A = this chain, B = another copy of it.
Amino acid sequence: MYRLTEVDVYDVRFPTSEHSDGSDAMNPDPDYSAAYVVLRTDAPDGHEGHGFCFTIGRGNDVVVAAIRALRPYLAGCPLDAVTSDLGGLHRRLTHDSQLRWLGPEKGVAHMAAGAVVNAAWDLAAKRAGQPLWAYLASLSPEELVALVDFRHLTDALTPQEALGLLRAAEPGRERRAAALRETGYPAYTTSPGWLGYSDEKLVALARRAVADGFTQIKLKVGADLGQDLHRLRLVREAVGPQVRIALDANQRWEREEAVRWMRELAAFDPYWIEEPTSPDDILGHAHVRARQPVPVATGEHAANRIVFKQLLQAEAVDVVQIDATRVAGVNENLAILLLAAKFGVPVCPHAGGVGLCELVQHLAMFDFVAVSGTREGRVIEYVDHLHEHFADPAVVRDGHYRAPTAPGFSARMHDHSLAAHRYPDGPVWRDRPGHDAHPLHPQSGQEGPR
């Protein structure tokens, strides 16, 4: 009997704040980071499970500590018992009666559970010899339902209803998988629209995105209305009326501010407004959606399936944006895909950061093949950053993600990338003395970003 032998965790950070890549109204200086986990086994096939939680710098070490706290659930476990019952693993990790106090089911502890659950899925898919999306799509409706934790969901979705949705999507799985391999899955790009970029860079990147085959781009907004109107006009003129321009306020606004602001920006026909206010504010999103004309998108910071349930019940969203590493991994995202299917709302995953494109493409593709059964009105975010660090990087051509073919969850970072970016002792950081030592208290006149 083979076993999981080790749970290795790495604090990996990229100094992205040096180039304003990823800057938005709430996140002026992110250092894209990963609390990265490797599950090792004593099986002779040599497969490892790789997973991670994406963060934006400070605090990545806290997620590392939270992943380490889960080690007793894995180290020494029989390998087959884990990979043949990933629903059980998911439940054990999220319902440990003591760890649960740290959420419940939200924040650092939940994200850590997600990293570990995803690493276990990477391992299971490798053992099955399939890319994760195809492995998931090979499971029966009954097997898929057994993966979901329906606790606190049943007023919106029962196991029986979930089974019905999955059975209804069973015919045509093979046809859709073939279509996916043939034409890929639609992508949109956020690369042009970061707040820190100049007008020239913004326009040039927007034109380039259209030339590259993207039919949707996204701009960050929310810091200054005049600037937003100016930038949106520039981009609309540059790309013409046919290209969709989505907007992202990154939680910046009060509820009424969002309504006012979007009534003005609506003149340029935005495709959606993303995170107009606090990600916890379900009633606020419903209010914004009801009082201005632009569709509302949210989810990358929604803490768990219970928040998504309410966003759908309150008719607060037009677009559900799942994130691969904020909720508790594949299992919880499966619950959210099923909820969205039940309510008939399209899922357009959040990606970018480091490795999020690699992960979330599998979930959207599985959704197409086995849950919603459609790519209509669906699109996966794409940001052209940091893919070179991955062994099986996401590939986007002509505005479409290509279907991954390598076994696993595409989560593996190159060993040399892990080694170079280990924080604080990897060479990339060793050579930046004092990077993390900038004083954050009032005496310095530099009070930390608001």
Per a CB cutoff under 8 Å, which of B66, B85, B154 touches A62? B66
Q: Report whether A30 and B102 are in contact in the complex, using a CB–CB cutoff of 8 Å.
A: no
Q: Report whether B109 and A109 are in contact in the complex, using a CB–CB cutoff of 8 Å.
A: no
Looking at the assembled complex, report how far the CB atom of A309 sits from the nearest CB atom of chain B, in whole angstroms.
8
Q: Report whether B96 and A448 are in contact in the complex, using a CB–CB cutoff of 8 Å.
A: yes
Could you tell me the distance between the alpha carbons of A91 and B58 in the complex, rounded to whole angstroms? 16
Residues of B within 8 A of A74 (CB): 441
Q: Report whether A279 and B440 are in contact in the complex, using a CB–CB cutoff of 8 Å.
A: no
Of chain B, the residue at the smallest CB distance from A447 is B92
Of chain B, the residue at the smallest CB distance from A92 is B448
Of chain B, the residue at the smallest CB distance from A150 is B254
Query: A103 in the interface, Cβ–Cβ < 8 Å?
Result: yes
Query: A449 in the interface, Cβ–Cβ < 8 Å?
Result: yes
Interface residue tally for chain A (C-beta within 8 Å): 84
Residues of B within 8 A of A50 (CB): none
Looking at the assembled complex, report how far the CB atom of A89 sits from the nearest CB atom of chain B, in whole angstroms.
8
Q: Report whether A28 and B310 are in contact in the complex, using a CB–CB cutoff of 8 Å.
A: no
Could you tell me the distance between the alpha carbons of A152 and B280 in the complex, rounded to whole angstroms? 10
Query: A427 in the interface, Cβ–Cβ < 8 Å?
Result: no
Are A307 and B287 also in contact (CB < 8 A) when A154-B254, A443-B78 are? no
Of chain B, the residue at the smallest CB distance from A443 is B78
Are A152 and B310 also in contact (CB < 8 A) when A59-B99, A74-B441 are? no
Q: Report whether A277 and B102 are in contact in the complex, using a CB–CB cutoff of 8 Å.
A: no
Could you tell me the distance between the alpha carbons of A98 and B57 in the complex, rounded to whole angstroms? 6
Query: A344 in the interface, Cβ–Cβ < 8 Å?
Result: no
Could you tell me the distance between the alpha carbons of A307 and B91 in the complex, rounded to whole angstroms? 25
Residues of B within 8 A of A313 (CB): 283
Looking at the assembled complex, report how far the CB atom of A111 sits from the nearest CB atom of chain B, in whole angstroms.
7
CB under 8 Å from chain B, chain A span 84-136 = 85, 88, 91-92, 95-112
Per a CB cutoff under 8 Å, which of B280, B281, B310 touches A281? B310
Could you tell me the distance between the alpha carbons of A450 and B115 in the complex, rounded to whole angstroms? 20
Copies of this subunit: 2
Residues of B within 8 A of A155 (CB): 254-256, 284, 287
Residues of B within 8 A of A191 (CB): none
Query: A168 in the interface, Cβ–Cβ < 8 Å?
Result: no
Are A440 and B284 also in contact (CB < 8 A) when A97-B29, A100-B26, A278-B306 are? no
Could you tell me the distance between the alpha carbons of A69 and B144 in the complex, rounded to whole angstroms? 39
Q: Report whether B63 and A443 are in contact in the complex, using a CB–CB cutoff of 8 Å.
A: no
Could you tell me the distance between the alpha carbons of A441 and B75 in the complex, rounded to whole angstroms? 9
Query: A251 in the interface, Cβ–Cβ < 8 Å?
Result: yes
Per a CB cutoff under 8 Å, which of B77, B99, B436 touches A442? B77
Q: Report whether B254 and A448 are in contact in the complex, using a CB–CB cutoff of 8 Å.
A: no
User: Hey, what's the 0/1 contact readout for A270-295 against B, CB within 8 Å counting as 1?
Assistant: 00000001111111100100000000
Of chain B, the residue at the smallest CB distance from A301 is B104
Could you tell me the distance between the alpha carbons of A281 and B26 in the complex, rounded to whole angstroms? 26
Could you tell me the distance between the alpha carbons of A30 and B109 in the complex, rounded to whole angstroms? 17
User: Hey, what's the 0/1 contact readout for A38-70 against B, CB within 8 Å counting as 1?
Assistant: 000000000000000001111101110110010
Residues of B within 8 A of A107 (CB): 102-103, 106-110, 303
CB under 8 Å from chain B, chain A span 432-450 = 436-437, 439-443, 447-450
Of chain B, the residue at the smallest CB distance from A112 is B62
Of chain B, the residue at the smallest CB distance from A279 is B104
Query: A225 in the interface, Cβ–Cβ < 8 Å?
Result: no
Q: Report whether B283 and A440 are in contact in the complex, using a CB–CB cutoff of 8 Å.
A: no
Query: A27 in the interface, Cβ–Cβ < 8 Å?
Result: yes
Q: Which 4 A-B pairs have the closest CB atoms?
A: A107-B107, A108-B108, A65-B65, A97-B449
